[in-house]
């Protein structure tokens, strides 16, 4: 029996099957053993999330940090240990460990124990997500994290994922096979069907017989409905913050940055704010306006509360003003600070975008099967009248219905006006 596949713009990437299985097990593990801690992200969102978002969301549950550790000594309280003791991903995990060390070595990472998979749960998960995200050299070239690792050894690693399953093309009579899922950027695979109108049940496995068969891929997607009542981009946040800080200093600050020895990239803000950050937040207006930003960076240290306390503003001053200053610098220049005070890594895609999204009152994701009419969410805002949904934040065309995939994996924006 010959199997024909109608992909409708999709393509094969058999590593995706492994990725979805791995993430599903990880997601279910966290929900079972640490209930309620990841309520802010759905599984569908996790699968397509950027590596640094995945690391920030689930990093503390990936493995038990032990310098020089090994997979067989990991406890079942963390996912890698759980997998080992339940005999899951026995071929994949050693491959991920080797990939991690290779990536960090080629990247020239200068941190202590940089190539040790077990030294940092967050870093090992971020690079695991990179392993699943990238497959081709073209993907590496356009990525924010990977231009420096276009190396044949990395390509060999990401293109030879253990435990992946190719799609069967021919089945002998009586032979059984599971049918893997294809990939399509911005879409979710909803199943294989034996008819082009997707009637009946989806087909996940086949048994060979004496007639050829055609399988039709059904695709779904999503549209994001954006409140459009906060900052649209991180650059807007940065501009506004610099404008306010310039008011305190009575001189304009720019987004200029320069490399300064072991400190790496240093912003105008970081250089000018020494000794002034406490004064800035002592102003009630600025405190009320910007304390959410400090709360955000502090939340990234939830696994280390003794460090998170550096960001507490007590008796009109931060517990550690220098740490707060350098943390904001790392955020502004999309890097990290390796010498004291060390900061988180803000170089990955998705981090700044997510921060801007959180300043808006809502970002509603609506999933749908392509071709089906999309149910628009009902929204309201105090003292404002909802005008409609538009293809752009300010201009753009009004959108009253979506029944094609014209807005698949795109964002449309609310328009408001003050109530009279």
pLDDT in tens, 199-218: 999 999 999 988 999 999 99
Question: Measured between alpha carbons, how far is 170 from 138 in angstroms, rounded to an integer?
Answer: 31
Question: Measured between alpha carbons, how far is 297 from 358 in angstroms, rounded to an integer?
Answer: 13
Between residues 181 and 368, which one has the greater pLDDT? 368
Percent share of the chain, pLDDT over 90: 71
How confident is the model over 46-60, as pLDDT tens digits?
998 999 999 988 999
How confident is the model over 267-317, as pLDDT tens digits?
999 999 999 999 999 999 999 999 999 999 999 888 788 999 999 999 999
Domain residue limits at 70 = 49-158
Residue 43 lies in a domain: no
Q: Are residues 74 and 139 in the same domain?
A: yes
Q: Are 370 and 408 in contact (CB under 8 A)?
A: yes
Percent share of the chain, pLDDT over 70: 99
pLDDT at residue 148, rounded to an integer: 64
Domain boundary (300, 333, 355) is at 355
Which residue in 46, 88, 80, 42 sits closest to 61, CA to CA?
80
pLDDT at residue 309, rounded to an integer: 95
Residue 181 lies in a domain: no
Residue 15 lies in a domain: no
Question: How would you write 172-220 as a 3-class SS string?
Answer: CCCCEEECCCCECCCCEEEEEECCCCCCCCCECEEECCCCCEEEEEEEE
pLDDT at residue 296, rounded to an integer: 92
Angle between helical axes of 321-333 and 284-299 (0-180°, round to 10): 70
If one counts the domains in the chain, the total is 3
Residue 306 lies in a domain: yes
Binned at pLDDT 50, 70 and 90, residue 146 comes out as low
Average pLDDT, the chain: 92
Residue 409 lies in a domain: yes
Q: Are residues 336 and 313 in the same domain?
A: yes
Q: Are residues 351 and 238 in the same domain?
A: yes
Question: How would you write 344-394 as a 3-class SS string?
Answer: CCCCCCCHHHHHHHCCCCCEEEEEEECCCCCCCCCCCECCEEEEEEECCCC
Binned at pLDDT 50, 70 and 90, residue 243 comes out as very high
pLDDT at residue 72, rounded to an integer: 95
Query: Minimum mean pLDDT among 8-12, 256-260, 345-349, 402-406: which range?
Result: 345-349
Q: Are residues 238 and 323 in the same domain?
A: yes
Which pTM was predicted?
Answer: 0.76
Residue 258 lies in a domain: yes
Residue 107 lies in a domain: yes
Q: Are residues 241 and 147 in the same domain?
A: no
Residue 187 lies in a domain: no
Domain boundary (93, 124, 158) is at 158
Helix (DSSP H) and strand (DSSP E) numbers for the chain:
15, 13
Q: Are residues 370 and 271 in the same domain?
A: no
pLDDT at residue 393, rounded to an integer: 94
Q: What is the mean pLDDT of residues 8-26?
A: 91
């Amino acid at each position: 029996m010959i199997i024909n596949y109608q992909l409708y713009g999709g393509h094969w990437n058999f590593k995706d099957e492994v990725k979805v299985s791995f993430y599903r097990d990880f997601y279910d593990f966290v929900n079972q053993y640490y209930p309620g801690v990841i309520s802010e992200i759905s599984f569908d969102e996790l699968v397509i999330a950027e590596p640094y978002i995945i690391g920030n969301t689930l990093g503390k549950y990936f493995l038990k940090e032990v310098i020089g550790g090994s997979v067989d000594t990991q406890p079942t309280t963390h996912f890698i240990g759980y997998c080992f003791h339940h005999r899951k991903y026995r071929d994949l995990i050693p491959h991920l460990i080797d990939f991690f060390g290779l990536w960090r070595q080629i990247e020239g990472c200068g941190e202590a124990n940089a190539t040790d998979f077990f030294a940092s749960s967050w870093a090992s998960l971020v690079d695991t997500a990179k392993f699943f995200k990238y497959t081709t050299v073209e993907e590496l070239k356009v990525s924010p994290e990977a231009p420096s690792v276009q190396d044949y050894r990395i390509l060999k690693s990401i293109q030879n994922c253990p435990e992946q399953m190719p799609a069967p093309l021919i089945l002998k009579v009586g032979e059984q096979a599971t049918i893997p899922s294809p990939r399509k950027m911005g879409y979710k695979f909803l199943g294989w069907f034996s008819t082009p109108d997707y009637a009946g049940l989806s087909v996940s496995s086949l048994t060979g017989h004496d007639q050829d068969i055609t399988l039709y891929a059904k695709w779904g997607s999503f549209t994001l409905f954006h409140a459009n009542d906060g900052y649209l981009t991180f650059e807007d946040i940065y501009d506004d913050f610099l404008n306010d800080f310039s008011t305190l200093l009575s001189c304009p600050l720019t987004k200029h940055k320069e490399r300064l020895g072991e400190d790496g990239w240093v912003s105008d803000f970081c250089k000018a704010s020494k000794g002034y950050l406490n004064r800035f937040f002592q102003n009630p207006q600025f405190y009320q306006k910007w304390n959410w930003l400090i709360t955000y960076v502090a939340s990234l240290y939830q696994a280390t509360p003794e460090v998170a306390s550096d960001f507490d503003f007590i008796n009109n001053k931060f517990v550690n003003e220098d740490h707060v200053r350098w943390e904001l610098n790392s955020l502004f220049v999309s890097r990290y600070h390796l010498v004291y005070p060390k900061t988180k890594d803000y170089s990955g895609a998705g981090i700044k975008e997510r921060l801007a999204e959180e300043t808006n009152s809502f970002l509603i994701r609506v999933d749908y099967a392509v071709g089906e009419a999309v149910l628009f969410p009902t929204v309201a805002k105090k003292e404002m009248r909802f005008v409609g949904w538009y293809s752009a934040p300010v201009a753009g065309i009004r959108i009253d219905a979506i029944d094609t995939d014209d807005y698949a994996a795109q964002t449309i924006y609310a328009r408001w006006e003050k109530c009279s």
